[in-house]
Amino acid sequence: MPETNLSAAQNEKAKKISIESGSIVRLTSSDFDSHIKSDQPVFVDFWADWCPPCKAMEPVVARLAAKYSGKVTFGKLNTDEEPEIATRYDVMSIPTFMIFKNGKPLDAAIGAVGEVALDKLIQKSVAGTPIRR
């Protein structure tokens, strides 16, 4: 199998596993605040259906959700369906990835930044490293 087909197959498998196992939670205005108040880090993917970079990042988020299962809660928030939450956190571009803990945003990455950058963002939150801006 050519490398591009193998990568696509791995991405689809990661996405399917994360959805089937429930490792990525669909967030809405009715449950968003209760999820982010956790003392465990909460990774939120702000996205929309029409956004190609958001779609490109889905398998990356799925792989990270599998890697950090039990240590970090992963959620996806559709900004078209929940614009008031996106506005509350000044999400102007998507995809935006934000880490919350105890109800407060710790750090964020904007755009299709790649797996390594998101992994570092998550590692800082898991390790409790202070976030410097």
Question: How far separated are the first and last CA of the chain, in Å rounded?
Answer: 43
Report yes or no: 97 and 118 within 8 Å, Cβ to Cβ.
yes
Q: Does the active-site annotation cover 6?
A: no
According to DSSP, the β-strands at 96-101 and 42-47 are antiparallel
Q: Out of 27, 51, 121, 122, which one is annotated catalytic? A: 51
Q: Does the active-site annotation cover 125?
A: no
Query: In a 3-state reduction of DSSP, which class is residue 73?
Result: strand
Q: Out of 14, 54, 77, 99, which one is annotated catalytic? A: 54
Size (the chain), residues = 133
Residues marked as catalytic = 51, 54
